[in-house]
């Protein structure tokens, strides 16, 4: 059953919204009545996605895009100001933008370590700081951080990425407690291996380093999921939309795995 449009009048900003999970989230939130701003670094990709998403708008809702580097405070501040000017105060923030790069720990240099922290953790921090004043002013808000099962367990050869995503989970839990009495919830969604550019890059890396075929590499990643498949972006988007709804007001500080049973929150 299609959910009723419960986000009419809300303005959602989705980082990394130009493709993959971010675009799926934007489409889902538009379908529930919200206006949506996509944030990313590639203007051409963002514009193409905005065009595609126009058909999913409800009523007076609108969709647009702003460019920013989420690891740059001034860039984030300018982008959020532009989004607010175009569509009003942001009361739904989805911190989806992220990067993953694999390397053995011994070959993880400081530049790689810092890049993983900057994009995955500091970017989440900066965007949340930019969005929070409007939510506090409204006395209502939803912050959903798209983390990863790598924020809940360990994976070999991605130590910097794991550390950053564990940090996102810690930030989620701490901020949820600070905001619990202010009408704002803070949660994380933790996808397993999902059909995205990051997984396609991981497949290419496995093929290049091991000589396995692409199908064998994909099967290796899918085997981590007890359902023996890759998660689909729309499945992650459904979980995010659920946490954004007014009816999810009692859910905060949670890290929800979307991983076919690979990780079970306890």
Q: How many CB atoms lie within 10 A of CB 217?
A: 20
d(CA 209, CA 131): 41
The arrangement of strands across the sheet holding 92-95 comes to 63-67, 35-40, 11-15, 92-95, 141-146, 184-191, 255-258
Q: Which of 26, 17, 49, 77 is nearest to 244 (CA)?
A: 26
Give the list of residues 6+ apart from residue 17 with CB closer than 8 angstroms, or none: 23, 25, 26, 36, 37, 38, 39, 40, 46, 49, 65, 96
d(CA 172, CA 243): 13
Q: Which two tokens stand for residue 48?
A: 């193409």
Considering the candidates 155, 157, 161, 193, report the single residue annotated as catalytic: 161
**Catalytic residue flag (residue 161):** yes
d(CA 148, CA 256): 9
**Which of the residues are catalytic?**
161
């Amino acid at each position: 059953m299609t959910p009723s449009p419960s986000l009419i009048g809300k303005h959602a900003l989705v980082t990394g919204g130009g493709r993959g999970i971010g675009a799926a989230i934007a489409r889902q939130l538009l379908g529930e009545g919200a206006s949506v701003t996509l944030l990313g670094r590639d203007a051409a990709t963002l514009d193409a996605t905005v065009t595609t998403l126009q058909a999913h708008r409800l009523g007076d809702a609108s969709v647009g895009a702003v460019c920013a580097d989420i690891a740059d405070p001034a860039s984030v501040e300018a982008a959020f100001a532009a989004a607010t000017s175009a569509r009003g105060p942001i009361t739904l923030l989805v911190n989806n933008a992220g990067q993953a790069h694999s390397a053995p720990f011994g070959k993880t240099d400081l530049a790689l370590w810092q890049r993983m922290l900057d994009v995955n953790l500091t970017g989440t921090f900066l965007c949340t700081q930019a969005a929070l004043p409007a939510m506090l002013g409204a006395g209502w808000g939803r912050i959903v951080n798209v983390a990863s099962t790598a924020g809940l367990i360990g994976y070999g050869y991605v130590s910097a990425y794991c550390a950053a995503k564990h940090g996102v989970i810690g930030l989620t839990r701490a901020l949820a407690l600070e905001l619990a009495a202010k009408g704002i919830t803070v949660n994380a969604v933790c996808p397993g291996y999902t059909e995205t550019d990051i997984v396609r890059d991981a497949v290419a890396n496995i093929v290049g380093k091991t000589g396995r075929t692409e199908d064998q590499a994909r099967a290796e990643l899918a085997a981590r999921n007890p359902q023996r498949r890759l998660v689909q972006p729309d499945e992650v988007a459904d979980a995010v939309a659920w946490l954004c709804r007014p009816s999810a007001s009692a859910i905060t500080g949670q890290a929800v795995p979307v991983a076919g049973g690979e990780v079970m929150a306890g």
